[in-house]
Amino acid sequence: MIKAITGTKDILPSDISKWKFVESIIDKTMQGFNYKEVRTPVFEETALFSRGIGEATDIVSKEMYTFLDKGGTSLTLRPEMTASVVRAFIEHSLAAKQNLNKLYYIAPMFRQERPQAGRLRQFHQFGAEAIGSTSPALDSEIIIMAYDILKSFGLKNILVKINSLGVPESRENYKAKLREYLQGKVAGLSEDSRKRFETNILRIFDSKEECDQKIMQDAPLLIDYLDEESLKHFESVKALLKQAGVPFEIDPKLVRGLDYYTKTTFEIVSGSVGSQSALCGGGRYDLLVEQLGGKPTPGVGFAAGIERILLACENENSLNIPVESIDLYIVRLDNGLQPNVFDLGLHFRRKGITSEFDYLERSVKAQMREANKLNARYVIILGGEEYQKGELVLKNMLDGTQENVSLDNMEYIANKFAG
Ligand code: HAM
């Protein structure tokens, strides 16, 4: 039997109400902050991601689904959206239409990681990118929006961590200091971190290995080497977060796994999901547009993993998903009325009233059972004496009352669902 690929998941009808509910909160919140939805292709030229995210990152060096198409072009299934959104922003000259573009997305991403709880190979992110302003108000807005959405899912056990990575000059100065500090200690680092020492030294802070953590405990911190401008920016972001009532913690070791960040970075982590605890991450990327071939344009954004959030919600039992129901179930008392039921069902369906009836020649009792299972608000019973008199029975399933309605007066029933 052919099965789904490891690390991918079917989202079955029984899960869809949960997904739709979550997506509706995302749409509503993003639109409330005046972000506009954007959709980009699932695959792109590989160079977009290697240049955008950085050759030395884990994502680019280990995790991308990259393949040659029949024409010999190297393509990659997107591992994240920021590079794609920036590409679309440049390609369609969005800056010419609007100084500040506030964009959001809900879309599948692909990373060839070792699957475990909360870590998949095809997963879904929602996220936002505000491109066109250096204002710290936008950094704060992005963090607030991410926080508000997670709160709307009822999550309590979450923590906002923020940091500033400064501008490249101050970061390079700092990296030299860090290199100096680690110079005599390299032999004590894990194999991965020894590699990072050469290629991506900041990422050593991300290591979960005890030997690395011990060494990094006393390492100099980037925040102590920030330039004036980045410090001022960071102060404003913090002040606005305080003003908005978003609790946060400064984590000077938060370096993030993508190379495009400048100044603010942040993550929101959950205490309810084990080791894959980052529900969301983001930050400012003032050089990315230029790096990808556009005019220098600052940007800031975030992305959050929906599967990981759903796991946290499950563990906190926090999602209040509305119970699924239908408007109308049509029961027939004898099978000869099947064409009439079909007709009547179609009449209501075409008015946008969710209607269902039996296709399996089931007994009246079984049809009523089905109506209950589907949480029908009303049941129509067609047949018997009433039908002879040109009427049907309409039963209100919430209060159990029933009434006879003339077959000529379907408007009366439709009006029950108006508004
Ligand atoms: P990221 O931190 O790589 O950032 O991913 C954001 C979120 O996606 C993570 O916090 C996590 O919840 C989820 N995620 C990542 N990998 C997986 C996986 N294998 N399985 C399940 N969930 C996963 C970015 O992608 C940046 N583009 C964020 C950003 C937007 N920065 C600026 N704008």
User: Residue 143 belongs to a domain with what CATH number?
Assistant: 3.30.930.10
Let me know if residue 173 belongs to a domain. Answer: no
Atom of ligand 1 nearest to the CA of 301: 33
Residue 123 Cβ inside 6 Å of ligand 1? The answer reads yes
Let me know if residue 330 belongs to a domain. Answer: yes
**CB-based contacts of 381: which residues, under 8 Å, 6+ apart?**
331, 332, 333, 392, 393, 395
Residue 115 Cβ inside 6 Å of ligand 1? The answer reads no
CA of 173 to the centre of ligand 1 (A): 28
| Shared domain check, 43 and 139 | yes
Q: Of the candidates 320, 268, 33, which has an alpha carbon nearest to the alpha carbon of residue 152? A: 320
Residue 79 Cβ inside 6 Å of ligand 1? The answer reads no
| Shared domain check, 381 and 239 | no
Query: E-strand spans in 194-344?
Result: 249-250, 262-270, 278-284, 299-305, 326-332
The protein residue with its alpha carbon nearest to ligand 1, atom 16, reads 119
| Shared domain check, 122 and 38 | yes
| Shared domain check, 330 and 286 | no
Residue 266 Cβ inside 6 Å of ligand 1? The answer reads no
Residue 67 pairs in a beta bridge with 75
| Shared domain check, 350 and 308 | no
pLDDT, residue 322, reads 87
The protein residue with its alpha carbon nearest to ligand 1, atom 14, reads 305
Tell which of 295, 316, 337 closes a domain: 316
pLDDT, residue 47, reads 98
| Shared domain check, 358 and 300 | no
| Shared domain check, 124 and 253 | yes
Compute CA distances 270 → 122, 132, 245, 248, whole Å.
Answer: 21, 31, 19, 13
Tell which of 283, 316, 349 closes a domain: 316
- Residue range(s) defining the domain that contains residue 384: 326-417
Which residue numbers in the chain have pLDDT < 50? none
Atom of ligand 1 nearest to the CA of 282: 31
Let me know if residue 159 belongs to a domain. Answer: yes
Q: How far apart, in whole angstroms, are the C-alpha atoms of residue 99 and residue 384?
A: 68
pLDDT, residue 206, reads 87
Atom of ligand 1 nearest to the CA of 118: 21
The protein residue with its alpha carbon nearest to ligand 1, atom 21, reads 119
Written as six digits, the tokens of 393 are 């029975």
Let me know if residue 404 belongs to a domain. Answer: yes
| Shared domain check, 90 and 26 | yes
Q: How far apart, in whole angstroms, are the C-alpha atoms of residue 375 and residue 365?
A: 15
Separation of CA 155 from chain center: 15
Residue 393 pairs in a beta bridge with 381, 404
Number of domains in the chain: 2
Atom of ligand 1 nearest to the CA of 304: 7
Let me know if residue 176 belongs to a domain. Answer: no
Contact call for residues 312 and 273 (beta carbons, < 8 A): yes
Let me know if residue 196 belongs to a domain. Answer: no
Let me know if residue 51 belongs to a domain. Answer: yes
| Shared domain check, 274 and 131 | yes
Compute CA distances 202 → 20, 47, 77, 357, whole Å.
Answer: 38, 23, 27, 62
| Shared domain check, 410 and 289 | no
Q: How many CA atoms lie within 13 A of 251 on its CB side?
A: 17
The conformational region for residue 284 under phi > 0 = left, psi -120 to 50 = alpha, else beta, is beta
Residue 281 Cβ inside 6 Å of ligand 1? The answer reads yes
Compute CA distances 314 → 58, 78, 200, 268, 329, whole Å.
Answer: 29, 28, 36, 17, 32
| Shared domain check, 91 and 57 | yes
Tell which of 248, 281, 316 closes a domain: 316
CA of 217 to the centre of ligand 1 (A): 26
DSSP track, 367-405: HHHHHHHTTEEEEEEE-HHHHHTTEEEEEETTT--EEEE
pTM of this structure: 0.95
pLDDT, residue 419, reads 77
| Shared domain check, 245 and 118 | yes
Sign of the CA dihedral running 23, 27, 28, 30: positive
Which H or E element spans position 179?
helix 168-182
Phi and psi angles of residue 67, each rounded to the nearest 5 degrees, phi first: -150, 160
Give the chain's length.
Answer: 419
What's 378's domain CATH number? Answer: 3.40.50.800
Let me know if residue 385 belongs to a domain. Answer: yes
Q: Of the candidates 112, 91, 98, 101, which has an alpha carbon nearest to the alpha carbon of residue 40? A: 91
Residue 255 Cβ inside 6 Å of ligand 1? The answer reads no
Residue type present at position 265: T
